[in-house]
Each structure stands twice: as structure tokens, then as C-alpha cells.
Amino acid sequence: MDENSLIQDENADIISGDETTKINLDLLEAQLKKKRKKNGILNIIGLCAQKIEFGILSNVNYLSIYYVYYLHTIDKEISKENSITLSSILCCMQFSTIWIGGVLKEYIGIRLVIAISNVLLILGSIGMILFDNLLAYKFMMVILGLGLGIPGSITNANTSLYIPEKKGLINGIANIAWTTSSSLFNFIAVQVANPHSLKLEFDEDEIKQEKEEAKKNNKTIEFFNDNEEDAKNVITFTIIAIACYVVLSIISIVFTFNFKKEDYEHKDEKEEKEKTEKEGKEEIKEGEGDKNEEKEEYIINDPEDKKAIIKNKSTKKKK
């Protein structure tokens, strides 16, 4: 066997080795992509669970009039207008605390942020069952608003990082989950709180007046107020909502993963990035060193600047 054939065989072995390495890297990259997509789908499940939970809670605004009437049966001084106050507190807290989730996520991770949100929603709802005064209900609206606001849209953003090419679809799914649950539980809320769709009125004089007018016209009119026990129906809906929150919160926490880009990069890719970053930092340092050298040369070459430096040094010594 001559020397040329030996060199060709060695080159062939090197090429086949490179091809094998490339195939292995391609397989590893395909596995990482598959893992990333799988975790993205699981995150979509967690995202939908959270949005369904928020959709249920959005009915608190609609039911605020029934919550206030429930309080009115205990304290007659509580007026209808307080329902607007409760809704305003909830909305204000929700939209003014959206930024908190993004900050907390950097320190404690997305799962703990979602857990805190769910705990606040459950505690706020339990408080509405346990307490029966207006001040306590206002405080519960603050807690519920925080529970809605803290996670904000970080779950949408986190899920989109797993499947960036489907970002629009992910946001669409999240909105569908929210609006569908809101509509469905709105129907349930109405059926539980006011099953016969009776008129709710706080002013007793107005109720008497309308009943008298109906009597004159040989008609009968019923009010939700006729049976004060019905006022507790809204508390029944709150218990149903809490049961849903508990189940959905477990799903949302279990199926949500904090996205880390380095988890979906193979070792060689990480090392290459680290090497590039290190070289970039070294180049910046070298550039800064060259600039400092140029400045020193300029000072030494300029006799006036040199004199000025000597003068400054002598004055410092005197002091």
C-alpha cells in the first residue's frame, strides 16, 4: 500500500467521523425541539386552566349587585350604589398590579407567581362567605384584584417562548378559554343567584308603589326581594366558584414550566456561545486598553500637559 492511499484512507475516516458527529448533533437538536414543543403544549393546558379561572372570577362584577343586596338584608343602610364601588375596586387593583408578576417571575419563577395568584383568589372568595359587612367586602375585592392582576399576561408570554411560531394561536386559545368560561359561568351564576329572573330593587317604597299599580291593573308582580332567603343564593355560587378555583389552580401550577433557553440547547452550542461571549468581552477590554495607552502617549508627548501634571502633583504634596 503506497503513501497516497494511506493519506486518502485517513481523510476518509476523518470525514466519516465528522459526518457521524453531525448526525448525532442533528438527532440531539431534533430531540430538544420535540421536548420544547411537548412542554409548550403542556403549558397551553396550564394557561387555559388559569384563563378559565379568571373567566369564572369575572362574574363577580356581574354579581356585585347580588352581593350588595345580600349585605343589604343584614344592614339596610347599604345602598345599591355600593355595587359600583366593589366593581371599581376589583378592576382598579387588577389593572394597576399587572407589572408585579413580571418582577416576581425573575426572582421566584412563574410557578410560584401563579400559586400566589391562586391563593389570593381562593382566600378572597372564602372571605366573601365568612364576612357579611361592606368594609370586609371592599378588602376582599382588593385581594381578588391582586389575584387577577399579579400574573397579568406572563403566562401568555412564557408559553409563547416554547412555540414562538404559534404565538398568535396561543394568545387566541387563551382568549377563547377566558371568554368561553366567562359566558358559561355567567349563565350558571344567573341560574343560581336569581333562577326566576325576578326584578331586584333596594327601595322598599318603590316596590310597594309598583305592586299597587300592578294590583290596579289586575296584575301580579314579583320581586327578588320578596324572599330574603334568596339573597344567600349568591353565596352558593361563590362556594361553587371556590371548588372550581381549587381544581383549576392545581392544573395551572402542575402544567406550567418556567422557560429557560439553555435547557433546549445542546452542549456544543452552549460552549460556542460562552466562547463567543468570552472573546467579545476580551476584545472590549483590549479596545479599552488601547485607548488608555493612546491617552498616556498623548499626555507624555505634549509638553504642556506634562508640565500641568507635574504642577498638580507638586500642589497635592504641599497640601
CATH number at residue 69: 1.20.1250.20
Same domain, 254 and 170: yes
**171 within domain boundaries:** yes
Say whether both 77 and 42 belong to one domain: yes
Last residue of a domain, one of 246, 264, 282: 264
What are the cell numbers at 27? 438527532
Contacts of residue 47, defined as CB under 8 A and 6 or more positions apart, other chains included, come to: 155, 156, 159, 170, 173, 174, 177, 252, 256
- Note whether 279 and 149 are same-domain residues: no
In a shared domain, residues 184 and 277: no
Domain end, chosen from 239, 264, 289, is at 264
Q: Over the stretch 262-281, which tens digit does the pLDDT of each residue have?
A: 665 655 545 555 556 665 56
Looking at the fold, whether 303 and 186 belong to one and the same domain comes out as: no
Rounded distance between C-alpha atoms, residue 20 and residue 28, angstroms: 12
Distance CA 312, CA 254 (A): 68
Within this chain, do residues 295 and 194 fall inside the same structural domain, yes or no? no
Distance CA 241, CA 59 (A): 10
Does 1 score more than 70 pLDDT? no
> Which of 76-80, 179-183, 199-203, 284-288 is predicted least confidently?
284-288
**Which of 222, 249, 264 lies at the terminal end of a domain, its last residue?**
264
Same domain, 180 and 294: no
Q: With beta carbons less than 8 A apart as the criterion, state whether 114 and 151 touch.
A: yes
Rounded Cα–Cα distance for residues 24 and 52 (Å): 42
Distance CA 144, CA 130 (A): 15
For residue 174, name the pLDDT band (cuts at 50, 70, 90): very high
Between 53 and 207, where is the model more confident? 53
Task: Please write the tens of the pLDDT for every residue from 98-150.
Answer: 888 888 988 898 999 999 999 999 999 999 999 989 999 999 999 999 999 99
pLDDT-above-90 percentage for the chain:
29
One-letter amino acid for residue 19 of the chain: E
Whether residue 47 is found in the same domain as residue 133: yes
> Does residue 222 share a domain with residue 305?
no
pTM assigned to the model: 0.72
Question: 279 and 174: one domain?
Answer: no
Q: Are 106 and 173 found together in one domain?
A: yes
Residue 53 binned pLDDT confidence (cut-offs 50, 70, 90): very high
* Residues 246, 304: Cα–Cα separation, whole Å: 79
Residue 250 identity:
I
Q: Report the interhelical angle of 110-130 vs 134-149 (nearest 10°).
A: 160
pLDDT value for 317: 45
- Amino acid at the residue 306: K
Please tell me the total count of domains within the chain: 2
The verdict on 129 and 234 lying in the same domain is yes
* Residue ranges of E strands in the chain: none
Domain of residue 278 covers 267-318
